[in-house]
Amino acid sequence: MDWRPFVVCPPGQKPPAPRGPATREGLGDRLRTAAFAERQARDAFFRAAERFPRESAERRAIWKTLGEEEDKHMRWLLERMTQLGFTPDERAVSDGLWRSLERCRTAAEFAEFMARAEERGRAAERAFQKMLETRDPQTAEIFARIADEEDRHIALAGALRA
Judge whether 10 lies within some domain: no
Question: Residue 85 is part of which domain span?
Answer: 21-161
Full-model pTM: 0.93
Q: Are 38 and 74 in contact (CB under 8 A)?
A: yes
Q: In angstroms, rounded to a whole number, what is the distance separating the alpha carbons of residues 92 and 32? A: 9
CA geometry: angle at 148 spanning 64 and 56, to 5°?
25
CATH number, domain containing residue 132 = 1.20.1260.10
Q: In angstroms, rounded to a whole number, what is the distance separating the alpha carbons of residues 6 and 36? A: 7
Number of domains observed in the structure of the chain: 1
Residue 49 corresponds to which amino acid?
Answer: A
User: What integer pLDDT is reported at residue 152 of this predicted model?
Assistant: 83
Judge whether 137 lies within some domain: yes
Q: Are 28 and 80 in contact (CB under 8 A)?
A: no
Judge whether 28 lies within some domain: yes
User: What integer pLDDT is reported at residue 154 of this predicted model?
Assistant: 78
Judge whether 15 lies within some domain: no
- Residues of the chain under the 50 pLDDT cut: none
